[in-house]
Amino acid sequence: MALLGPEGVSHIPRIAPVHLEMRVAYVEAPVARQLGLHDGQIVQAMVAVRQDQLKLVLNEHVFNLPLSPYIKEGDMAQLRAQLLPSGQWALQLLHTGSFSGPDPNAGLQIPTPSRLTTLLFQPGGFASWLALLQPGVLESLVPAGNSDLKNRINAQRLSMASLQPQALRRWILGHTKSGEANLLDGVAPENDTKALLRLLMNDRQRAGLEEAGAKDALSHALDEVEGSQVQSAQDWHKGELNVAFVIPFKDADPLEMQFERKGNKPGQPKNPLVVNMHTKSRVLGEVWLKTSITDSAQVDLTMWALKQDIAEQARFNASELTYELENAGLVLTRFQVFNAARPNAQETRQPPPHGALVDTQA
């Protein structure tokens, strides 16, 4: 079987991870820990109506499952918990008190979701990876005595105090192509984030360091990085640009960056290149920056800052920013600064179809 990297999935259509007739839900490890699940455990959930739909309620967690016509409000449903190789948990509906007659799913084997399917439905964002990239956090997870791995981690970090445009450009270009794509081109991958995370996870396993918290944090960070690359490959196949990653620093908090450009439509103006940046800096506070660059080198820049003094400082330095952009051959057409959070900062990708995830917000 050929191994596919993020670029190799471009021609693979999205596949819903759970068919409606399979009566199974996949649960992330943190939710499973909150529920106290263990492999093979049989749990009971109450059927209740939530937002005009039948749901399974278990310890205040609400599950979406394709239940009808085998179940009704007030029933007690039995589910078997199963730990999957991917680290996820599956809850399979066994039977209910209201079910009668032959089960149309009898003998049906429930397929385990593939790694690719899991990544296709990975929620957007880098919450776990950002937490690990705080100065000193990732290094603290390296097994004692492994100085080589610590050196590799430090080599991937930039220095905010001495940051130069050329160094930033090299770092970004080096992370716009996956390690798998480099290997296909016969190029040895350098500073590959996924390889570093896997190496750290394997070294910790060999050293017997299996604390659940650290293990889950590393696993979730790997999912976030790989999920972002798979999503980027899918969008590229649709004619759109969507590249997101996190820049780590030795002497500052990490910076989340995204390059995006919507696909152009015939007869309409070309869409601008949009560069989004976000950081939760202990010095600057939380800051968002959105830069739109047109093909005519015009720049529209918007900044949001939670700290009032940072917003005022940005407005004060607007003329200096205009000068720097002109030296780079760009024209600043508009610069807006808001002392507030970015309005759409909490937007995420739409969840998978009914029956695929646990709804804990109902």
* Domains, the chain: 9-98 (no CATH), 122-237 (no CATH), 272-362 (3.30.750.140)
pLDDT at residue 143, as a whole number: 92
Radius of gyration of the chain from Cα atoms? 24
Beta strand 298-305 pairing with 331-338: parallel
Per-residue pLDDT 10s for the chain (362 aa) are: 444 555 554 555 554 443 334 467 777 777 777 777 777 777 777 777 777 766 767 777 777 665 555 567 777 777 778 888 777 787 777 754 444 344 444 555 555 567 777 777 777 889 999 999 998 899 999 998 888 989 988 888 999 989 888 888 888 888 777 777 777 777 766 678 888 999 999 999 999 987 888 888 999 999 999 989 888 888 888 889 999 999 999 999 999 999 999 988 888 889 999 999 999 999 999 999 999 999 888 999 999 999 999 999 999 988 888 888 888 888 999 999 999 999 875 444 444 443 434 433 33
> CA 8, CA 116: separation in Å to the nearest integer?
11
pLDDT at residue 54, as a whole number: 66
């015939």: which residue's tokens? 266
pLDDT at residue 361, as a whole number: 39
Tokens of residue 89, six digits: 């948990």
Kind and range of the H or E run holding 334 = strand 331-338
pLDDT at residue 13, as a whole number: 53
238 by Cβ neighbours in 10 Å (0-12 / 13-18 / 19+) ranks as exposed
Residue type at 329? Answer: G
Tokens of residue 283, six digits: 């010095």
* Residue 262 dihedral angles phi and psi, to the nearest 5°: -70, 155
The DSSP 8-state label assigned to residue 272 in this structure reads P
pLDDT at residue 301, as a whole number: 94
> CA 233, CA 109: separation in Å to the nearest integer?
31
Among 193, 207, 9, 17, CA closest to 112: 17
Q: Which residues pair with 260 in a beta bridge?
A: 242, 274
